[in-house]
Copies of this chain bind each other. A is one copy, B any other.
Amino acid sequence: MADDDFATQVRLAEALIFASDTPIPPRALTQALPDGADLDAVMAALQNIYTDRGVILVQAAGGWQFQTAADLAPQLKRVIKIPRRLPRVAMETLAIIAYHQPVTRAEVEEIRGATLSQTTLDALLDTDMITPKGRRETPGRPTLWGTTPDFLTHFGLNDLRDLPRREDLLVEPPTIPAAPADET
């Protein structure tokens, strides 16, 4: 009986997460499971089932979601139409916003030593990965920018703390690896 209950709980969690295309927060899972269910145990069991599969269970932006396994990317890209990657400038701007948030546009420009083009700003806003986060209380009250949960989801991060520490970023050898080849 008890085993049956547990199996049903795992199936419920599986169905709920599988149905969604965005991460499901633990709160929603707790609500869906019967009172007194052990969410950690359920998720551990579920994760165990999805080891080595074509679809895997990951944590992103503080929630759970299924996504295709990364090693299948090359084969999937042949079939699935994918959007273009963000250009380098946009990626740099995004990195600066992620590390310095909340940050004003002027500060981003100062760090990059170059002005931010409308194209880049539009491209970033279009991805839903950045959003206004209030104003700085200084003269002119400039808008502050920060990243969204979509930013975390997009890069498979559970939390902003999953970003590498700044001091760890520069220890790599100075020869910059080429950006992953983009097959399209």
Contact = CB atoms under 8 A, between A and B. Distances in A.
A171 B18 CA distance: 39
A69 B169 CA distance: 37
A116 interface: yes
Interface in A13-30: 13-16, 18-20, 28
Contacts of A168: 104-105, 132, 142-143
B79 A28 contact: yes
Interface in A50-65: 52-55
Interface residues of A, number: 51
Copies of this protein, total: 2
Contacts of A78: 32
Nearest to A104: B168
22 contacts: A11-B52, A11-B72, A13-B54, A14-B54, A15-B54, A16-B54, A16-B76, A16-B80, A18-B66, A18-B68, A19-B68, A28-B79, A104-B168, A117-B171, A118-B171, A118-B172, A121-B171, A135-B165, A141-B161, A143-B165, A143-B168, A143-B169
